[in-house]
Amino acid sequence: MFENLTERLNQVFTQLRRRGKLSEADVDVAMREVRLALLEADVHYSVVKSFVGRVRERAIGYEVSKALNPAQQVIKIVHEELIATLGEPARLNLTGARPHVVMFVGLQGSGKTTAAGKLARMLRSQGERVMLVAADPYRPAAVKQLQTLGERINVPVYYEAGINPPELSRCAFDNAQKGGVSVLILYTAGRSQLDNELMNELRAIGSQIPVSETLLVVDAMIGQEALHVAQGFRDAVPLTGLMMTKIEGDARGGAAISIRSVTGVPIKLLGTGEALEAIEVYNPERLASRILGMGDVLGLIEKAEGAFDEKTAREQANRLMKGEFTLEDFVQQLRQMRKMGPLTQLLDLLPGNLGQMARSIDPKDAERQLRTTEAIINSMTVVERRRPDILNASRRRRIARGSGTEVQAVNRVLRQFREAQRMFKTMQKTGGRGMPRLFG
């Protein structure tokens, strides 16, 4: 979602790097471009004014004028001030007596149902005993939708027909206490707009049970309106945090930058895609690095750790070091990579020169090539995958027919495999020395 902003800011930084020394006039020109970039990204004007003022004050001061590389120093200042604007990282409060109650609130269409399922899945993977509560008896199919999600992630969903949400929440809490549940996640009703009836119901739920976290789910795609929604809920119920959804979408991204400064409510979670594993704990430092095109290597590693089977990865690593890398390993790595999420999101996490190079690739074409490559390898026999040197012309024609492709596509996959083999052999011999420089 920050692609346009990242591109604009990097253009500013490129201009700065071309100057050996920076005059006050150079800084003013750069700050004017930064201001425009942020406003175009839908960052709130008051946040833009404050941010640019702080950066300018530091950029014309001693720390830049005496720096060996003034441009890099300005970029460092922008990074630090962006982190400050995004706010301190805030964790979910899961301390005290159990069960800890997390209540999701928000308008209709903000993504509360999926958000509740994502958090339930994440907490369950961390060892928590989780129960979901379907406290929205109004929207057609809302209960069934949450129950379907619960079945997918193996988390029970509590619901009783004919009782109002506050009473339902009380019954769910009592049931969770007796059943040894550690985290109770309440999915509450939404409205098309803010109204007193909705707020009174949320306050009534809070009077019935001890709520540890009241998280407002905000759709990042609605831009500045997200600030108004957050302010409306904050003034009516005791919000403890925000979860921003759909940040992978084609949005300008300004709401994520503005919302902490304008509302004072911390962002705690990010929804980064439609899949149930597409959820991140909010980290302003890493988000700032992504906005400035510096990538997020730690985020990439975390996605890899979540997607890759540890035993399989260890076995593959051992084979690689012995020079036994086969097409079976190749396709296994492709499958694991696809588990990490949409390619467009992975490219956003790549830093420096590698990130710029990767972002020049059409993600849809890359996704299509991954599927084609997997289909081609799946059309081979076990022997052919382990001994690709036996793939003569007739075998290649058979594989092409079986995978619905052309022989040229089969040749391309084999060429890529040989290149990967050569790369791993080089790493084995040199311990990684002599590999191309990836980070700029």
pLDDT tens, position by position, 378-387: 999 989 988 8
Answer whether 227's CB lies under 8 Å from 263's CB: yes
> Stretch 107-124: mean pLDDT, rounded?
92
Please choose, from the candidates 232, 221, 275, the residue with its C-alpha nearest in 3D space to the C-alpha of residue 106: 232
Q: Which of 70-84, 198-212, 297-311 has the lowest mean pLDDT?
A: 297-311
Classify domain 3-86 by CATH number. Answer: 1.20.120.140
If one counts every other C-beta atom within 10 angstroms of the C-beta of residue 265, the result is 22
Residue 41: per-residue pLDDT: 86
- Report the alpha-carbon distance of residue 349 to residue 296 in Å, rounded: 4
Query: Bigger pLDDT: 307 or 403?
Result: 403
Q: What is the DSSP secondary-structure string of 115-163?
A: HHHHHHHHHHHTT--EEEEEE--SSTTHHHHHHHHHHHHT--EE--TTS
> Stretch 105-125: mean pLDDT, rounded?
92
In the predicted model, what is the mean pLDDT of the chain? 82
Residues 307-334: tens digit of each pLDDT: 555 566 566 566 655 656 788 877 777 7
Tokens of 12: 């500013």
Between 3.40.50.300, 3.40.50.620, 3.90.950.10, 3.40.50.2300, what CATH number should domain 100-283 receive? 3.40.50.300
Query: Bigger pLDDT: 17 or 319?
Result: 17
Residue with tokens 């590698």: 354
pLDDT at 214 over 60: yes
Q: What is the DSSP secondary-structure string of 3-15?
A: HHHHHHHHHHHHH
Answer whether 22's CB lies under 8 Å from 71's CB: yes
Q: Which of 53-62, 151-160, 325-334 has the highest mean pLDDT?
A: 151-160
Residue 310: per-residue pLDDT: 58
Tokens of 77: 């200042």
pLDDT at 439 over 70: no
Answer whether 383's CB lies under 8 Å from 326's CB: no
State percent of the chain over pLDDT 90.
39
Q: Which of 142-151, 183-192, 249-258 has the lowest mean pLDDT?
A: 249-258
Residue 438: per-residue pLDDT: 36
Per-residue confidence at 23, pLDDT binned at 50, 70, 90?
Answer: confident
Tokens of 248: 């992978």
Query: Bigger pLDDT: 138 or 246?
Result: 138
Tokens of 21: 């020394």
User: Kind of pairing, strands 183-188 and 267-271?
Assistant: unpaired
pLDDT at 88 over 90: no
Q: Which of 66-70, 213-217, 321-325 has the highest mean pLDDT?
A: 213-217
Domain coordinates in residue numbering, the chain: 3-86, 100-283, 299-430
Could you tell me which CATH class the domain 299-430 is placed in?
Answer: mainly alpha
> Stretch 238-248: mean pLDDT, rounded?
88
> Stretch 78-102: mean pLDDT, rounded?
90
Q: Which of 41-50, 75-84, 173-182, 351-360 has the highest mean pLDDT?
A: 173-182
> Stretch 146-171: mean pLDDT, rounded?
94
> Stretch 50-55: mean pLDDT, rounded?
94
Residue 148: per-residue pLDDT: 94
Residue 51: per-residue pLDDT: 94
pLDDT at 346 over 60: no
